[in-house]
Amino acid sequence: MAYGPAMTMDPLAPPLDIPLGRHMLAANGDGDFGLAYRQPPANVDVEMALLGAILVNNRALEKVQEFLLPEHFVEPAHARIYDAIVRLTQRGQQASPATLRHHLEQDEQLAGVGGAQYLAQLAAAALNIIDAEDYGRTIHDLHLRRELIGLGEDVVNTAYGPDLDGSALDQIEAAEHRLYEIAAVGQHEGGFREFGCSLAGAIRFVEAAYRREGRLTGIPTGFGHLDRLLGGLQRSDLIVLASRPSMGKTSLATNIAFNAARALVEEVDEAGNRTSVGGHVIGFFSLEMSAEQLASRILAEQSGVPSDRMRRGQINNDDFQKVFLASQELSSLKLFIDDTPAPTVATVRTRARRLKRIEGRLDLVVIDYLQLLRPGGAARSDNRVQEISEITRGLKAVAKELNVPVLALSQLSRAVEQRDDKRPQLSDLRESGSIEQDSDVVMFIYREEYYLSRKEPREDTPEHDAWKADMEKVHNVAEVIVAKQRHGPIDRVRLMFMAELTRFGDPEPGSMGHDDVA
CA atoms within 13 A on the CB side of 108: 0
Give the separation between CA 196 and CA 288, rounded to whole angstroms.
46
- Look at residue 75 and tell me if it is in a domain: yes
Tell me, yes or no, whether 145 and 21 share the same domain: no
* 480 domain-assigned: no
Q: pLDDT band for position 187 (50/70/90)?
A: low
Which of left, alpha, beta for 330 (phi over 0: left; psi -120 to 50: alpha)? alpha
- Chain length of the chain: 518
The domain that contains 400 carries what CATH number?
3.40.50.300
**Can you say whether the dihedral through the CA atoms of 106, 109, 114, 118 is positive or negative?**
negative
Distance CA 152, CA 157 (A): 9
Burial class (CB in 10 A: 0-12, 13-18, 19+), 446: buried
Q: Which residue has the higher pLDDT, 37 or 57?
A: 57
* pLDDT at 512 > cutoff 60: no
22 or 142, which is more confident: 142
pLDDT in tens, 437-453: 888 999 998 888 888 87
Last residue of a domain, one of 449, 466, 496: 449
Return the minimum-mean-pLDDT range out of 204-213, 279-288, 290-299: 204-213
Sort residue 299 into left (φ over 0), alpha (ψ -120 to 50) or beta: alpha
User: Could you give the C-alpha distances from 292 to 9, 296, 310, 500, in angstroms and in order?
Assistant: 55, 6, 13, 19
Residues 318 and 420 in one domain: yes
Q: Which long-range CB contacts under 8 A does 421-425 form with residues at least 24 apart? A: 422/244, 422/446, 422/448, 422/451, 423/479, 423/481, 424/242, 424/243, 424/244, 424/481, 424/483, 425/483
Q: Is residue 332 part of a domain?
A: yes
- CA angle (33, 37, 39) in 5-degree steps: 160
What CATH number is given to the structural domain containing 46? 1.10.860.10
Q: What is the pLDDT of residues 6-54, one digit of tens each?
A: 444 444 444 434 344 444 444 444 555 444 567 889 998 899 889 988 8
Phi, psi of 204 (to 5 degrees): -65, -40
pLDDT at 508: 74
- Do the Cβ atoms of 171 and 183 come closer than 8 Å? no
Q: What's residue 185's pLDDT? A: 63
Q: Read off the pLDDT of residues 214-240 as tens digits, 9 standing for 90 and up.
A: 556 788 888 888 988 888 899 889 999
Instruction: Give the residues across from 37 on adjacent strands.
Output: 23
Q: Please check whether residues 19 and 57 belong to one and the same domain.
A: no
Whether residue 473 is contained in a domain is answered as no
Nearest CA among 282, 283, 302, 343 for reference residue 501: 302
State the Cα–Cα distance between residues 405 and 267, nearest whole angstrom: 19
CA distance linking residue 232 with residue 223, whole number of Å: 9
CA-to-CA distance for 506 and 220, rounded, in angstroms? 14
What's the mean pLDDT in 471-492? 86
What pLDDT was estimated at residue 19?
44
Asked if the structure places residue 509 within a domain, the reply is no
- Domain count of the fold of the chain: 3
Q: Provide the pLDDT confidence category of residue 348 given band limits of 50, 70 and 90.
A: confident
Judgement on whether residues 25 and 46 belong to the same structural domain of the protein = no
pLDDT category, 2, cuts 50, 70, 90?
A: very low
The confidence score (pLDDT) of residue 1 equals 41
Q: What is the pLDDT of residues 495-505, one digit of tens each?
A: 888 877 778 88
d(CA 518, CA 514): 7
pLDDT of 367 reads 93
Question: Which of 114-118, 288-292, 364-368, 415-419 has the least mean pLDDT?
Answer: 114-118
ω into 369 cis (within 30 of 0): yes
318 assigned to some structural domain? yes
Q: Are 484 and 490 in contact (CB under 8 A)?
A: yes
Indicate whether 385 and 278 sit together in one domain.
yes
Among the three residues 406, 432, 449, which one is the final residue of a domain in this structure?
449
Same domain for 122 and 243: no
Predicted pLDDT of residue 101: 78
Same domain, 161 and 142: yes
Over residues 72-79, mean pLDDT: 89
371/259 same-domain check: yes
Q: How many angstroms separate the first and last alpha carbons of the chain?
A: 92
Per-residue pLDDT at 330 exceeds 70: yes
Inform me whether the pLDDT recorded for 515 exceeds 50: no
Please tell me whether the peptide bond between 451 and the residue prior to it is cis, using omega within 30 degrees of 0.
no
Q: Are 372 and 342 in contact (CB under 8 A)?
A: yes
Distance separating alpha carbons of residues 244 and 246, to the nearest angstrom: 7
> Does 410 reside within a domain?
yes
- The answer to whether 376 and 345 are in contact (CB under 8 A) is yes
Give dist(CA 353, CA 399) in Å, integer. 11
CA atoms within 13 A on the CB side of 400: 9
Residues 178 and 298 in one domain: no
Strand partners, 429: 412
Compute the average pLDDT of residues 2-6: 41
CA gap 341, 32 in Å, rounded: 54
Q: Are residues 350 and 282 in the same domain?
A: yes
Nearest to 285 by CA among 218, 357, 341, 244: 341
Residue 201 lies in a domain: no
Q: How confident is the model at residue 276 (pLDDT cuts 50, 70, 90)?
A: low
pLDDT of residue 205: 59
Higher model confidence: residue 354 or residue 106? 354
74 and 129 together in one domain? yes
Q: Is the pLDDT of residue 274 over 60?
A: no
User: What percent of the chain clears pLDDT 90, i.e. is strictly above it?
Assistant: 8
Range of the domain at 173: 39-186
Report pLDDT digits (tens) over 311-329.
777 777 887 787 888 887 7
Tell me how far apart the alpha carbons of residues 508 and 396 are, in angstroms, rounded to a whole number: 36
Rounded Cα distance, 149 and 162, in Å? 22
Query: What is the average pLDDT value for the chain, to the nearest integer?
Result: 77
Task: Look up residue 72 and give its DSSP letter.
Answer: G
What's the rounded Cα separation, in Å, for the pair 425 and 421? Answer: 10
Specify whether 80 is located in the same domain as 6.
no
